[in-house]
Amino acid sequence: MAQMLVEKGYDVFGMVRGQANPKIRMIQEETPKLELVEGDLQDLSSLIAAVEQVQPDEVYNLGAISFVALSFRQAELTADITGLGVLRMLEAVRIVGGPDSQGSGNKIRFYQASSSEMFGKVRETPQTEMTPFHPRSPYGAAKVFGHYITVNYRESYDLFATSGICFNHESPRRGLEFVTRKVSNGVARIKLGLQEKLTLGNLDAARDWGYAGDFCEAMWLMLQQDTPEDYVIATGETHTIGELLELAFTAAGIEDWSRLVESDPRFTRPAEVDILTGDASKARAQLGWKPKVDFPELVRMMVESDLAIEAGDPTHRY
């Protein structure tokens, strides 16, 4: 997101928590023009100070505890950051924003990263903006609060506040704890002789996976509209973990891979989300958005990146 906005000519500020945040150096190396400001989604006063310092035109709230499995182990913390953190960010925008150029509403446009995990035990397939929510994790429940409090601030305070109900979006930068990156990195390590097997949880789970760069474009487009609305952002295609594995091993040149993968019940969730498929018809019609990177290309991109990383290629950039 930061790189895309810099390329569009924005002055971009990224909020970081803590004095010795280990990701600061990586962020600065990847996007040198990004300026960093301190703030904490658990501390309203710090958010007000950050918004006052930057005086932004647009705020993209992508911060959250985003690993679903962790949310079961730290449910209260997830609720505080992923849920109440949205309320605090909206409150900072409301307090600092002031009237827009027409003297009505708030001059700051706000984007909230909602999630397909809000649908959980799906009531219909595919899922649209009107599909009821049934979250199956503390993460999903916290995201539902964040989604509806964004709607509430839009309706109560005339904020330009919009939510993108984003289905899974991946890239080579995905954390190693997420299944797509766990697969791409594990396959790369197996290919290079650094690992013998890949151990996963539910191999039958199916998701609508897209490329993070495409989704960031949709987020930006949402804040360029005349009126704030909520949009499902998805590819409309569903793929199983098995399909992910097939594509990943093929990208690494490994044909007979079934003996290299194991399923371990320790990696299953207490309440599983079996299938998610998004209908992004509204985004296609109103935003003119559609994904550019398909699933096979996404998987190939991630495997090739991890092969370079695990081989110690000093020139590798993604």
236 Ramachandran zone, left/alpha/beta (phi>0; psi -120 to 50) = left
Instruction: Give the Cβ contact number of residue 179 at 10 Å.
Output: 20
Q: Is the peptide bond before 99 cis (omega within 30 degrees of 0)?
A: no
Q: Where are the beta strands (DSSP E) in the chain?
A: 13-16, 35-38, 58-61, 109-115, 160-166, 169-170, 198-200, 206-207, 210-211, 231-233, 239-240, 261-263
Of 117, 170, 217, 310, the active-site residue reads 117
In order of 58, 97, 100, 173, the CA distances from 107 in angstroms are 9, 6, 4, 32
d(CA 90, CA 104): 17
d(CA 252, CA 301): 11
- Strand partners for 275: 206
Instruction: Let me know if 115 is a catalytic residue.
Output: yes
Instruction: Let me know if 157 is a catalytic residue.
Output: no
Of 60, 139, 153, 211, the active-site residue reads 139
Of 46, 115, 116, 305, the active-site residue reads 115
d(CA 6, CA 245): 35
Buried b / exposed e along 147-163 (16+ C-beta atoms within 10 A): bebbbebbeeeebbbbb
Query: Residue 306 is encoded by which pair of tokens?
Result: 């991890």
d(CA 151, CA 144): 11
Nearest Cα residue to 166 out of 13, 272, 27, 291: 291
Strand 239-240 vs strand 206-207: parallel, antiparallel, or unpaired? antiparallel
Catalytic residues: 115, 117, 139
